[in-house]
């Protein structure tokens, strides 16, 4: 039986001050050119929480507005905020920075996150009020520190500051004096990935009522590496997340393939479930601190606010076929093979055309294609164009080349089968997975008959290979397998058993 | 253009006769293609990479330009570029790269 998508949760965490602490664009510039106009301008271009709540792509991410409805809204979206927008949505929520620091502290098992005493006390009740945390979650919290003590950690022990609206409220300490893999910068990055994932898994469990004990395996799919200098990517984010979400019956591991990681994770989860190894597998990805403000140089230059201030997360459970939830067609996985080549044409051929042909489907048989779903308002000012639109045009062009769509109808095909971009540029986050939640909803309510999720990854960034990467999979409605009439499985089983028994007796003599 | 590619172009221009060297761009946008063309002719406009202040003045074309298309095996071009030719704004990209080439190429 094909595996199903049992549910999905999506949350975004606001981290404007972290743009200047964890974001690599800012950090690099601060080292090279600390007095540059960009460095001076950044603080005044950071957004307030109410601005990110009213920002259309964020509302789409948490499930309040369907992606197809995005063209109805006037751009630039950052100037045309949605009035009365709520930070909660059916898939998850937008989390303010103070609570992000709270969950960062909660995710810390080694006393590395230090919060100022009053701040720490203030955020506890706010965290409990979300319904995701209980008093016992804070049992291990020691009393917070004084601002002087925190300042000293930063000045004398290389701790990374945690600021709120420019005011110091805490720090993240290094986990080792010399080990470069355990410095404060790396620990902050890894704890952000862990903590934001913990929040989103808890949100998933609360929203769906899913029993945490039923999850048997966790696949974590970010692009971070946790380990020490002897094994920088040793792992394991997955179990560290499950530990804080009550997933006591699960084990897990981390899958990496740059932005394609989540698609690999979904495929592996589907395979584990279909083969009966595990009944329910959680695929999860936390947020990326280093990518905060990645294109902020261009945003500042063009007079825009810094839009890359959100840490993106997702949590999806793939489980045994329940006869209801949409299925993953594991027999038609698209893959970018080592021998495929790296041209966009070769990549799209491998990820879209080949699996469709194998499934006996036409390009038009897929209602929505969800490839890289980056928010174009972030990428266009940086010269990278509208990434999802470019992907949809490539799919349409491939359909034209296969003679399935007339060239004059390319644009119409893009409109009818594309998904506008709405995900933050958090690497693994935009790559197809944000749409899994909508695909599930849309298939359950009859809006879609078929959706293709496409994850793509740029492996050259790791400088080990120039190869590209990608995985695609098709999601369809759950059609109950019907048995031919007149066949009673129980009767056949009993007949076979009786025959075998007779044979055994005869052999015994 | 990233640092590594700038270093590669610079090394090639030093190793071979720059007059016989052609840089073929594959960028997806007119603006970024124009900036790359500028980098290998006038020098890195961001003044950050190995070509900052280095005016190589190389011949530079985009893969979508007709001059390049005509020089390629049509079957290979269709296989490798056919799809992107339909997707990208060929006219805008061609116009931008040609403008830079005509203004700054020395050869």
Instruction: Report pLDDT digits (tens) over B28-43.
Output: 889 999 999 999 999 9
Q: Determine contact, residues A13/A95, Cβ cutoff 8 Å.
A: yes
Question: According to the model, what pLDDT value does residue A262 have?
Answer: 98
Q: Which residues, other chains included, contact A74 with Cβ-Cβ below 8 Å and sequence gap of 6+?
A: A80
Interface of B with A in 4-33 (CB under 8 A): 28-29, 31-32
Q: Which residues, other chains included, contact A486 with Cβ-Cβ below 8 Å and sequence gap of 6+?
A: none
In this complex, do B83 and A385 lie within 8 Å of one another by their Cβ atoms?
no
Q: Band of the pLDDT at A73, cuts 50, 70, 90? A: very high
Q: Tell me chain A's radius of gyration from C-alpha atoms.
A: 24
Handedness of CA A208, A8, A95, A132 (dihedral sign): positive
Tokens (6 digits) for A389: 């639109």
In this complex, do B29 and A345 lie within 8 Å of one another by their Cβ atoms?
no
Question: Which of A343, A384, A390 is the closest to B87 by Cβ?
Answer: A390
Other C-beta atoms closer than 10 Å to the C-beta of A6 total 24
With a cut of 70, say whether residue A485 has pLDDT above it: no
* CATH value of A4-476 in 1.10.530, 3.40.50, 3.30.2000, 3.40.47: 3.40.47
What whole-number distance in Å separates Cα of residue A18 and Cα of residue A292?
A: 7
In this complex, do B28 and A385 lie within 8 Å of one another by their Cβ atoms?
yes
In tens, the pLDDT along A395-404 reads: 999 999 999 9
In tens, the pLDDT along A456-471 reads: 999 999 999 999 999 9
With a cut of 70, say whether residue A281 has pLDDT above it: yes
In this complex, do B84 and A394 lie within 8 Å of one another by their Cβ atoms?
yes
Q: Which residues, other chains included, contact A8 with Cβ-Cβ below 8 Å and sequence gap of 6+?
A: A91, A204, A314, A315, A316, A317, A436, A437, A440
Q: Tell me chain B's radius of gyration from C-alpha atoms.
A: 14
Residues of B in contact with A344 (CB under 8 A): 83-84, 87
With a cut of 80, say whether residue A494 has pLDDT above it: no
With a cut of 90, say whether residue A502 has pLDDT above it: no
Q: Position of tokens 């007339």? A: A406
Q: Band of the pLDDT at A504, cuts 50, 70, 90? A: confident
Nearest CA in chain A to B32: A383
Question: According to the model, what pLDDT value does residue A483 have?
Answer: 54
Q: What is the mean pLDDT of chain A?
A: 95
In this complex, do A383 and B86 lie within 8 Å of one another by their Cβ atoms?
no
Three-state SS for A417-464 is HCCCCCECCCCCCCECCHHHHHHHHHHHCCCCCCEEEEEEEEHHHHCC
Q: Band of the pLDDT at B2, cuts 50, 70, 90? A: confident
Q: Band of the pLDDT at A503, cuts 50, 70, 90? A: confident
With a cut of 80, say whether residue A508 has pLDDT above it: no
With a cut of 90, say whether residue A222 has pLDDT above it: yes
Residue of B25, B34, B82, B87 for testing the chain A interface, max A β-carbons within 10 Å: B87
Q: Determine contact, residues A192/A287, Cβ cutoff 8 Å.
A: yes
Question: According to the model, what pLDDT value does residue A484 have?
Answer: 57
Interfacial residues of A (vs B; Cβ cutoff 8 Å): 343-346, 348, 383-385, 390, 393-394, 397-398, 400-401, 407, 410
Q: Position of tokens 């140089």? A: A297
Residue of A28, A33, A36, A383 for testing the chain B interface, max B β-carbons within 10 Å: A383
Q: Residue B62: name the closest of B26, B87, B38, B107 by CA.
A: B26
Question: According to the model, what pLDDT value does residue A487 have?
Answer: 61
* Average pLDDT value for residue range A122-140: 96
Question: Which of A345, A385, A410 is the closest to B82 by Cβ?
Answer: A345
Q: Band of the pLDDT at A488, cuts 50, 70, 90? A: low
In this complex, do A383 and B79 lie within 8 Å of one another by their Cβ atoms?
no
> Which residue ranges make up each domain of chain A?
4-476
Q: Which residues, other chains included, contact A473 with Cβ-Cβ below 8 Å and sequence gap of 6+?
A: A263, A266, A267, A270, A328, A329, A330, A332, A333, A334, A452, A453
Q: Position of tokens 């990496």? A: A256
Beta strands in A64-131, from DSSP E residues, in sequence order: 94-95, 113-115
In this complex, do B83 and A394 lie within 8 Å of one another by their Cβ atoms?
yes
Tokens (6 digits) for A368: 């929505």
Say which residue, B27 or A20, is predicted with more confidence: A20
Residues of B in contact with A353 (CB under 8 A): none
Nearest CA in chain B to A347: B80
DSSP B29-94: SHHHHHHHHHHTTT--TTS-STTTT-----EEEETTSHHHHHHS-HHHHHHHHHHHHHHS-HHHHH
What whole-number distance in Å separates Cα of residue A283 and Cα of residue A328?
A: 14
Q: Position of tokens 């998904």? A: A419
What whole-number distance in Å separates Cα of residue A359 and Cα of residue A379?
A: 34
B89 close contact with A: CB closer than 8 A: no
In tens, the pLDDT along A322-353 reads: 999 999 999 999 999 999 988 899 999 999 99
Tokens (6 digits) for A68: 């197809």
In this complex, do B79 and A384 lie within 8 Å of one another by their Cβ atoms?
no
* Average pLDDT value for residue range A350-365: 98
Question: According to the model, what pLDDT value does residue A497 have?
Answer: 77
In tens, the pLDDT along B73-105 reads: 999 999 899 999 999 999 999 999 999 999 999
Domain holding B71, by residue range, is: 3-104
Question: According to the model, what pLDDT value does residue A384 have?
Answer: 86
Percent of chain A with pLDDT over 90: 92
Other C-beta atoms closer than 10 Å to the C-beta of A415 total 13
Tokens (6 digits) for A470: 């990608």
With a cut of 60, say whether residue A509 has pLDDT above it: no
Q: What are phi and psi of A210, to 5 degrees?
A: -65, 135
Handedness of CA A259, A262, A263, A267 (dihedral sign): positive
Three-state SS for A127-155 is HHHCCCCCHHHHCCCCCCECHHHHHHHHH
Tokens (6 digits) for A459: 């492996």
With a cut of 70, say whether residue A260 has pLDDT above it: yes
Question: Which of B32, B79, B87 is the closest to A397 by Cβ?
Answer: B87
Three-state DSSP at A488 gives coil
Question: According to the model, what pLDDT value does residue A482 have?
Answer: 54
What whole-number distance in Å separates Cα of residue A226 and Cα of residue A223?
A: 10
With a cut of 90, say whether residue A472 has pLDDT above it: yes
Q: Residue A349: name the closest of A363, A366, A328 by CA.
A: A363
Question: According to the model, what pLDDT value does residue B50 have?
Answer: 95
Residues of A in contact with B80 (CB under 8 A): 343, 345-346
What whole-number distance in Å separates Cα of residue A363 and Cα of residue A355?
A: 10
Q: Position of tokens 């990681």? A: A261
Q: Determine contact, residues B30/B93, Cβ cutoff 8 Å.
A: yes
With a cut of 80, say whether residue A372 has pLDDT above it: yes
Give B55→chain A minimum CA distance, Å: 23
How many domains are contained in chain B?
A: 1
């Amino acid at each position: 039986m094909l595996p199903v998508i049992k549910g999905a949760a999506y949350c975004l965490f606001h981290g404007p001050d972290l743009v200047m602490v964890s974001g690599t664009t800012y950090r690099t510039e601060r080292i090279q050119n600390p007095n540059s106009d960009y460095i001076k301008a950044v603080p005044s271009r950071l957004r307030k929480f109410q601005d990110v709540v009213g920002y259309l792509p964020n509302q789409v991410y948490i499930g309040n507005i369907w992606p197809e409805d995005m063209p109805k809204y006037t751009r630039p979206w950052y100037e045309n905020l949605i009035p009365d927008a709520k930070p909660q949505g059916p898939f998850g929520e937008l989390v303010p920075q103070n609570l992000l620091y709270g969950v960062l502290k909660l995710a810390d098992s080694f006393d590395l996150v230090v919060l100022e005493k009053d701040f720490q006390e203030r955020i506890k009740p706010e965290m409990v009020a979300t319904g995701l945390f209980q008093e016992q979650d804070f049992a291990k919290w020691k009393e917070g520190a004084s601002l002087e003590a925190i300042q000293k950690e930063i000045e004398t022990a290389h701790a990374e500051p945690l600021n709120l609206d420019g005011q110091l409220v805490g720090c993240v300490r290094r986990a080792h004096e010399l080990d470069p893999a355990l410095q404060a910068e790396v620990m902050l990055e890894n704890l952000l990935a862990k903590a934001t994932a913990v929040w989103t898994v808890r949100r998933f469990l609360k929203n769906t009522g899913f029993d945490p004990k039923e999850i048997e395996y966790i696949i974590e799919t970010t692009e971070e590496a946790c380990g020490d200098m002897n094994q920088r990517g040793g792992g394991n984010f997955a179990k560290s997340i499950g530990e804080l979400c009550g997933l006591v019956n699960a084990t897990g591991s981390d899958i990496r393939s740059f932005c394609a990681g989540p698609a690999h994770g979904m495929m592996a989860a589907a395979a584990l479930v279909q083969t009966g190894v595990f009944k329910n597998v959680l695929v999860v990805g936390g947020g990326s601190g280093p990518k905060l403000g990645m294109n902020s140089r261009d945003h500042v230059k063009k007079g825009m606010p810094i839009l890359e201030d959100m840490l993106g997360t997702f949590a999806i459970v793939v489980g045994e076929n329940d006869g209801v939830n949409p299925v993953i067609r594991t027999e038609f996985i698209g893959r970018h093979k080592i021998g495929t080549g790296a041209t966009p044409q070769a990549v799209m051929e491998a990820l879209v055309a080949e699996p469709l042909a194998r499934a006996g489907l036409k390009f038009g048989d897929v209602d929505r294609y969800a490839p890289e779903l980056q928010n174009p308002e972030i990428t266009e000012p940086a010269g990278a164009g509208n990434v999802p639109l470019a992907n949809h045009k490539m799919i349409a062009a491939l359909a034209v080349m296969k003679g399935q769509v007339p060239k004059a109808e390319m644009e119409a095909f893009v409109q009818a089968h594309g998904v506008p971009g709405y995900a933050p540029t958090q690497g693994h986050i935009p790559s197809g997975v944000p749409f899994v939640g909508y695909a599930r909803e849309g298939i359950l309510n009859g809006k879609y008959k078929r959706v293709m999720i496409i994850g793509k990854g740029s492996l050259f960034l790791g400088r080990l290979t120039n190869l590209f990467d990608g995985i695609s999979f098709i999601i369809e409605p759950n059609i109950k397998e019907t048995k031919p009439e007149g066949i009673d499985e129980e009767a056949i089983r009993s007949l076979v058993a009786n025959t075998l028994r007779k044979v055994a007796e005869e052999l015994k003599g | 253009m990233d640092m590594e590619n700038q270093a590669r172009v610079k090394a090639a221009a030093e190793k071979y006769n720059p007059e016989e060297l052609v840089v073929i761009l594959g960028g997806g946008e007119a603006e970024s293609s124009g900036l790359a063309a500028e980098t290998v002719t006038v020098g890195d406009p961001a003044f950050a990479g190995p070509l900052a202040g280095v005016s190589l003045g190389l011949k530079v074309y985009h893969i979508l330009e007709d001059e390049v298309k005509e020089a390629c095996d049509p079957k290979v071009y269709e296989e490798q570029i056919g799809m992107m030719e339909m997707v990208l704004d060929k006219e805008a990209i061609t116009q931008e790269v040609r403008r830079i080439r005509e203004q700054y190429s020395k050869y």
